[in-house]
Structure 1
Amino acid sequence: MTVTEQEIAEYVARVRAALADLPPALREELTEDLPEHLTEVAAEGEGALVDRLGTPEAYAAELRDAAGAPDLKRRKLDQRVAGLVSGALGRLRVLDRRLGPPLGYPSGSDFLRLLRPGWWVLRAYLAAMLVTIVTTGGSFGFLPRFGGELLAGLVMLVVFLLGSIWLGRRSEGLRSWRRWALHASSLVLVVFGLAGLADAEERAGYYPYDPMAVNNPYDQVRDVFVYDSEGRLVQNARLFDQNGNPIRLGYPDCATGLDPYEVNPLLRPYPYCPDRAPFAPRAPVGPSPAPVLPPLSSPSASGAASPSTTPEPTTTPEASSTPEPTATAEPGATPSATPTPSATR
C-alpha cells in the first residue's frame, strides 16, 4: 500500500491541531519540515503512517517534548488543582486561628501540639489491639493479647509504645512517601478506634436476662383442676378475671369425636380431662351415686339401740295390758275414778 499525498496532508493537519495551544511561530517552526519528512518516511517502505509513526497526537507530543514546549492544557489543570488545594489550606488556617483563643492559645494547632504525646500512647494501644484481633480471630477485651496470651500482649504494648514515641519525635523530619505512609497508618488506626468504640457501645447496651423471667409461666399448662375445701374435684367450673373476661388455659387434648364446644370454646368448662386429676380422692365422672344407708341391726347384735326406733317393752305374765274402767265400782277401785253417766243420774 502506497502512502498518498492526501494521507500526508491529513496527518500534518492533525499534528498542527494537537499543537494549537502553542504560539504560532513555535508551531510553524515545529511543523515546517513535517511534510518532507513524512514523504521520506512513506518512500522508505510500505504501510500507513499511523502504523509506522503512531497517531498524529502522539507525534505532536514528541515534537512538543523535543522543543521543551509546555502542555498548556495540562498546566491549566495543574494550576486549577493547586488553586483548590491552596484555597482549602487557607480556610483551614483561618479556622485554626479562630479556634485558638477559646482554648487559650494563639491557634488550635498550638494546643494540639501539646496533645501529641497522648496521641503517641493512644496510637500504640490501637496498634496493639489491631494485632490482637488479627491473632485471636476477632475476640478481644480491653487489654491487648498476642495469640490469646495476656502477658505477650502486654509486652507487645510496651514495644509499640516505645516505637510510637520514637516515631512521633522524628515525624517532623519525614518527607515524601514516608510521611504519607505515616498519615495513612494513623488514619487506619483512627477508623479502627471509632469502630471499636461503636462495638463497645453496643455491648454496653446489652443486658443479659433470665429467660424464665420473661416467659409466661402458664405456657406449659394443659388443664386446670379445681378442688373444694374438702378435697373434692369440682367439675364444669369456669374461671373469670376481675373484668368478667373468661380465662382460657391449656388445650383439651383428650377430646375425641364430636366436640360440643367447638363453635364457642369459651363455654368449655374445667377440667377438660377429669380422669387425669392429679390428687385423690377423685370424683367419678358422670352423675354422683345415691348415698348408701347402714343396715338395721338388733340391740344384741349392735350393743346399742338405734336412735330412730323405740325399744318395745317386754311382756310379763302378770299383766299384758292396762284394764279399762267399768260402770260397777269394784272394792279395789280408787276414789279418783271417773264416774259413768249412769252413776251421775
Structure 2
Amino acid sequence: MNSTLTGAVAIYLAQVRAELSDLPPGELEDVLDDVSGHLTEVAAEFEPGPEGGPTLAALQERLGTPQQYADELRTAAGYPPRTKPVGVAHLDAGWKALRWGLIAATVGPFFIAIGIFAWQQDATVFFGLLGIAVLFAAAYLGVRALHGYDPRIVLDTPRGAQGATAIRGLIDQIPPNARAELTSIGQPVWWVVRGVIGGGGFFALFGAASVTVVGAIAGAAVSIWVGRKTQRDRRWLWYVVPLNVVTAVAVPAFLAAAYVGTSFSLFGNYNDYRGTNNTSYAPNGLRLDGNRVTNIYPFDAQGKQVDVRLYDQDGNPISLEPQDCAANYGSNQPGTTSNLFPQAVVSPDEDGYADPENCKDTTKAPFVPPPAPATRTTSTPSNGPTDKPTPAPTPTAPPSVKPPTTAPTAKVPTPGVTLTVEPTR
C-alpha cells in the first residue's frame, strides 16, 4: 500500500482498508495497492484544498462512502460480501472489549478528576497516577480482548448497538456543512488541546513547572501523531476515547480556575495556596502587613513585659486560639480563645521537643525588645520651606516672685479617658 498519501486521501484509504479487513492479508495488500493508485489519480483531478488535496467530503461525493467503494471492489474482484463473524466467541469478545473500554473511559478519568480537584499535593499525585494506571491498563485489556477481530465487533453487542445509534442520532442533528468544518478544522484543534493538557499536566503533576511548557509542546506533537494513527487503526480508540474524556473534564476546570484568579492544581505550586502558611485561608487570627500574628508581647515604657487584655475600638475582645500545653494536647474545649497577652506557648526541652507528660508553658518573649526612645518627638509646623534652623530663644532672668501669703488650693484633676489596654496583676 502507498504510504505517501496524506490528508483526506489517506483517511479514505484507511477506511476502505477497514472495510476489506476480512480478506486474506496478501490479497488485501494487492487490492490496496490498486486502490492507492486510483485514489492518487482521482485526487489529481481536484483543485488543491486547505490541506493540499481534496477534502474527504469531495472524495465521498465522487467515489461514494468507503463502504460503498469497498463493496464495488468486492463485486469487481469476485470476493463474497463481508460477513460479520457470528457465534458466542464473537459476541463474548465484543462485550469484553466494550466493557474494558468503558472502564478506561470512566474509572480512569474519575480518579484523575479527583486528583485535579484535590487540595493536597500528595493526594493529587496519588489519584493522578492511579487514574493514569487504570486508564491505560483497562485500554490495553480492551485491545487484548478483541482477539484479532475487527474493532467494530463491539457494535454487534446490544449495548454497543444502542450506543452507536444514540451517537449517530446526535451527529445527524449537526448540519452537513458544520460537520465538515468540525472534521477539517475542529479535529486538529482538539488534538492540539488534548496534547497540551496531557503533556503539560503530566509534568505539572510532579511539580516540574519549569518543563511544563516543553511537556505541553511535546504532548501536542504526540497527540497529533496518535490522532493520525487512530484514523488507520481503530484499536487506538481504546486509548484515545478515555484521554478525550480527561481533556473534556480538565479544560472547564482550568477555565474556571483562571476565571476566579487562582492557580489550578496541575499548573502551580501547591504551597502557594494550599499550605498551612497561607493566612488567607485561616478562619481566625490576626495579620500584620499580610503576615500572620500568632502572639503579642506587650512592654511598658520602661521595657518591662506586662500582661494585658486587648479590645478593638468597639469593645470587642481581640482573641487568638491558645497555644499552650492544654491546646496542643487536647485539654481545651473546641473554639476556645483568649484575649490575654502574651499567651502561653509550649516551652520545648533542650532537644527542641515537647511531650504531653513533661509539657511546660512559657509567656516569656523569645526576643529582647528594642529600647524605648528617651523623649517623645513631635513634629513642629513650619512657616514655609527653608533650610535655616529656627534660632533658639534668648534666655532671660526670671522675674521676682513674692512668697504667697496663703496656701495654694489643690485642684481636683479632671477624669481622663479610659484606655482599652487593661493591665492585669
- Superposition TM-score, scaled by structure 1 size: 0.31
Larger RCO (CA within 8 A; separation ≥ 6): 2
Larger Rg: 1
